[in-house]
Structure 1
Amino acid sequence: MDTTISPSTEETLPPLTRTQKKAIVAATLGTVVEFTDWIIYAAFVSLFSRHFFPADNEKVSLLSAFAVFAVGFVMRPIGGAVLGAYADRHGRKSGLTLSVVLMAVSSLLISVCPTYATIGIAAPIILVLARLLQGFAAGGEIGSASTFLIESATTARRGFAGSWQHFAVNAGVLVAALIGYLLTSNISERGMIDWGWRLGFAIAGLMGIVALWLRLSVSETEVFTKNVLGHQRRNPFLVVVREHRRAALRVVGIAMAGNLSIYLWMVLFPTFVHLRTGLPLRQGFIASVISISVSLVAIPLLGVLSDRIGRKPILLAFAGGSALFAWPSLHFLSNDFWTATVIVTIGMLLSSGFTATCATVMAEQFPAEVRSTGVALPYAVSATLFGGTLPYILTSMSNAGLSKFIWIYVAAVCIVSFAVYAAMPETKGRFLD
């Protein structure tokens, strides 16, 4: 059974109202802060890994810390199911508020957690628990934020409104990279390893207070208030699993190449290029700042374009281009700053085709009563399978001497998503209840 909504007559492109603009700004800035908290772990993992996983071999410590990075993703589907259902029952605003509180608390916990040398095995246990809490919060964030944004816009402007969801994610990574750059530029390498990394987590956690204030300042969406509030009787998770399986599986396919590309070129790039080529970590952060800044210009423009030509052409260009770019990008990556910057910028521009359209196209697959859960749960599954495992796959393949074959994995995932995009129906202009 096709679970999407029937197409309606396409609207013109009216300007957004003041209320709609306020909703977009509040949701976007809140997500920026939340994903700064989520990403800061990857930014500093090479610095603090030995404090929690002491080993004679530095690579073993790093692999253990990356395993904890992946463990956080295990909770994302659970967070997607629980927090998605919470947002479908109690409102998008309530879901957004709860997720940012959980994320901030976990970052602050990591910032003050004693090391293995101080409290022994309890140190990595606390780190794992904090990362699990972060994964739980991140799992619900995507569904609530995507739904809030597209329900706050008219049919003809959903592509533009939805593009701000991943604009905020990218901006959060940019903020994390800037924090990394500023700290590594002003604190010695020894200082960063000893205590500087804690400042990064503390700054990210305290920013959560700002995000909480922003999210408390906006109203619930009219779509939820009219169509769901007071009418919801069924469990959103069970409804998605029983009645919207096809749409949920489609979302997994929509997101798989995007998640892999995002984590390769945006989240992991400074650490990846540093370990693979020897490029100084500070220069890796600079390259990331440049490439992410370029993507922040491209994303809303592509969102506007998707309101005119549709979501499918932009997604197909992303997946096809990324598959073709996989071999040359990884083959020519070197410790030359400008070479690395050009490669990561091209990767980020290609990924912008996904980030500009994914929130909108995923939300357009589901009716209002399960929209947040329908986006959050399958997206979290995809992020876990293709984003959370990527650092461990990259590190393991490199340690095994198989780094020259990484491009095959990247290209294969992109080709699968290309097939999903080609087969799925266009959702531009559809009426959403």
Structure 2
Amino acid sequence: MNSVSVAGVRKGQLSRAQLIVAATLGNALEFFDFTVYSFFALTIGKLFFPTMSSYGQLLASVATFGVGFVMRPLGGVVIGAYADRAGRKPAMTLTIFLMALGCTLIGLAPTYAQIGIAAPVIIVFARLLQGFSAGGEVGASTTLLIEAGTPANRGLLGSMQFASQGVGVSLGALTAAVLTTCLTPAALMSWGWRVPFLLGIAIAPIGMWIRRRIDEQAAPRAHHDANAQMKSAQTKNAARAPVLAVLRDHGARAALGTLLTIGSTVTAYVVTFYMPTYAIHELKVPAPTALLAGLVSGVVTFLVGPLAGWLSDRLSRRALIFWPRVAVVVLIYPAFLWLSSAPDAARLLITVGGLSVLLALQAAPSITMLPEMFPRAVRATGMAIVYSIGVAIFGGFAQAIATWLIKATGNLLAPAWYVMACVAISCLALPFIRDLTGKPLED
């Protein structure tokens, strides 16, 4: 009996480890594919919007980056509902396939000089497809991770989703920095910018193969008595129409979750993705140096994210979200002021690194708290809806808004004001969200 029991435990441990690796690796690949666009925003602007001014090219390019977020809510709804009905694993396999298709379209797209107005149309369509995929990825993968955990380690497992985003961002920034350093400007404009998107196509089959091998049943369900095992009419309806169930039965939770998402996503997309473009275009920092800022942010996210998740299991998700957000509101304006007063590599990397620490401390527990808000039958759908809507409205267009604010006000510090306002408003949701730190999930 004892040997059989031990063997069963080892098998379960192996399945759970495979599940975590598959969820996080696939998510890292997704974020590499989706975010690498931002590191080539200036180059893409020149190639696909050449008839505009320098400012117009940049604004059009970052707006096209934001367009990908428009489809996130739809992708979150469709793929999230699919994950709740068919399972987390098939939904995550689908997202990688769609992301790879978007990479194919961007990597092989003819430029404006070759086919005219059809060129930016192809890029916009590809970003819409990638946004649809990313909207479903976060809901399915995060839900799978927290359901694989226990009340004692759920925050740590959920933080792996955020940490894996850091891996994807780091790879994207590193690829961009290497290409920018090793290639001449002419070669980068001619073909070099396509390399990361073509790499995204090549690595997608690896992610799909890994995800098809995972055992979704490694994520344990809560124990029930005989009565609890009988599905209620509400649960049956949720299984058939999870989107309607979220909006009808959990509308207040969805609204609070969306509000909570704003603080993390605006901070992330300004600090991690906009800062390299800001440094190059506004502060005139050399491109290879500016791209290192994205790499630093990704590495900090990867290292600090799990620590924040571990702390959230021992302290409180609410407290660990609130206090770093207060620090962001207090420090981001002085940080922008210090950087813009004498921009150089050291100040840029210190600013991005410090703000990324605060981002990771609050974002990791936040991404765990969101799926914890919903019962299992609609958990992936609920998570996908609140995350994708918050990211689509405020995060996706953060770069475009920051660029426009600088132009409209003539003030290089305008992006800091935008972050401060969004983070402060987002904190209003915290007192009304139930904190399940150390408690079982609602099933």
Q: Into which bin does the TM-score normalised by the smaller protein fall? A: over 0.9
Of 177, 186, 200, the residue aligned with 1:190 is: 186
Deviations 1:386-416 (A, max 9, x none): 1111111111122221433332221111112
The reply on whether 1:427 has 2:433 as its aligned counterpart is no
Instruction: Indicate yes or no: 2:391 matched with 1:395.
Output: no
Which deviations, in whole Å up to 9, do the C-alpha atoms of 1:153-193 show, x marking residues without a partner?
Answer: 12211011000001011111111001111111211122112
Match of 1:271 among 277, 283, 308: 277
Moved more, 423-432 or 27-36: 423-432
Matched, 1:96 2:96: no
Q: Which residue number corresponds to residue 81 of structure 1?
A: 77
Aligned to 1:12: none
Give 2:6's aligned residue.
none
Corresponding residue for residue 376 of structure 2: 368
Matched residue SS, 2:434: coil
CA, structure 1 residues 291+63, in 2 after alignment: closer, same or farther (shift >3 Å)? Answer: closer
Query: Is the contact between residue 19 and residue 218 of structure 2 (CA under 8 Å) also seen in structure 1?
Result: no
- Aligned residues of 1:303 and 1:356 also touching (Cα < 8 A): yes
**Change beyond 3 A, Cα 1:422–1:330:** farther
Question: What displacement does 1:424 show?
Answer: 2.6
Question: 257, 281, 296: which one pairs with 1:251?
Answer: 257
Of the three residues 224, 229, 236, the one matched with 2:242 is 236
2:198 partner amino acid: A
- 2:393 and 2:130 map into 1 onto residues whose CA distance is 17
Could you tell me the TM-score, scaled by structure 2's length?
Answer: 0.90
Alignment partner of 1:357 is 2:365: yes
Q: 1:158 to 1:252 in 2, by over 3 A?
A: same
Counterpart code for 1:369: A
Cα deviations by residue, 1:200-226 (Å, 9 ceiling, x for unpaired): 211122221211111111012456889
Residues 269-418 of structure 1 mapped to structure 2, 5 A cutoff: 269-334=275-340, 335-400=343-408, 401-418=410-427
Distance 1:26 1:179 in 2: 23
Cα distance in 2 for partners of 1:359, 1:78 equals 19
Q: Which residue identity is paired with 2:80?
A: G
How far apart are 1:301 and its partner, in Å? Answer: 1.2
Q: Which residue identity lines up with residue 258 of structure 2 in the other structure? A: V
Greater mean deviation of Cα atoms: 373-382 or 285-294: 285-294
Return 5+ residue gaps in structure 1 as ranges.
Answer: 1-15
Deviation at 1:385, TM superposition (A): 1.4
Identify the match of residue 20 of structure 1 among 16, 28, 40: 16
Amino acid at match of 2:417: I
Instruction: Check conservation: 2:147, 2:221, Cα contact below 8 A.
Output: no
Equivalenced residue count is 417
Deviation by residue 1:247-280 (Cα, 9 ceiling, x = unmatched): 1111112110100011011122211211120111
Q: Is the 8 A contact 2:85 2:240 kept in 1?
A: no
Q: Which amino acid aligns with 1:79?
A: G
The one-letter code sitting in structure 1 at the alignment partner of 2:165 is V
1:102-141 → structure 2 map (5 Å cutoff): 102-141=98-137
Identical counterparts, % of pairs: 35
Distance 2:418 2:367 in 1: 25
Corresponding residue of 2:267: 261
Greater Rg over alpha carbons, structure: 2
Cα deviation, 1:347-368, whole Å, max 9, x if unaligned, reads 1000012232122111110011
Whole-Å Cα distance in 2 between the matches of residues 187 and 270 of structure 1? 18
1:7-35 CA distances to partner (integer Å, 9 max, x unpaired)?
xxxxxxxxx93322221111111111010
Cα deviation for residue 146 of structure 1 reads: 0.6
Question: Do the aligned residues in 2 keep the contact of 1:76 with 1:136 (CA within 8 Å)?
Answer: yes
Q: How many Å apart are 1:55 and its aligned residue?
A: 1.8
Which deviates further from its counterpart, 323-332 or 239-248? 323-332
CA distance in 1, matches of 2:150, 2:239: 27
2:211 counterpart of 1:215: yes
Q: Cα gap change, 1:209/1:158 in structure 2, threshold over 3 Å: closer, same or farther? A: same
Would the aligned equivalents of 2:16 and 2:218 in 1 still touch at CA under 8 Å? no
SS of equivalent residue, structure 2 residue 374:
coil
1:117 counterpart SS class: helix
Contact 2:271 2:355 in 1 (8 A): yes
Moved more, 414-423 or 96-105: 414-423
**One-letter identity of the residue aligned with 2:387:** Y
Range with greater deviation from structure 2 (264-273 or 137-146): 264-273
240-249 or 199-208: bigger deviation? 199-208
* Deviations 1:276-329 (CA, angstroms, capped at 9, x unpaired): 201111101223223322332211111111111120111012211111112112
- Alignment correspondent of 2:163: 167
Describe the superposition over 1:79-118 as per-residue Cα deviations: whole angstroms up to 9, x where unpaired: 0111110101100011111011100111111101111111
Contact 2:173 2:294 in 1 (8 A): yes
Cα deviation, residue 137, structure 1: 0.3
Counterpart contact for 1:247–1:365, Cα < 8 Å:
yes
Alpha-carbon RMSD across the aligned residues, in angstroms, is: 1.8
Aligned partners of 1:34 and 1:211 also within 8 Å = no
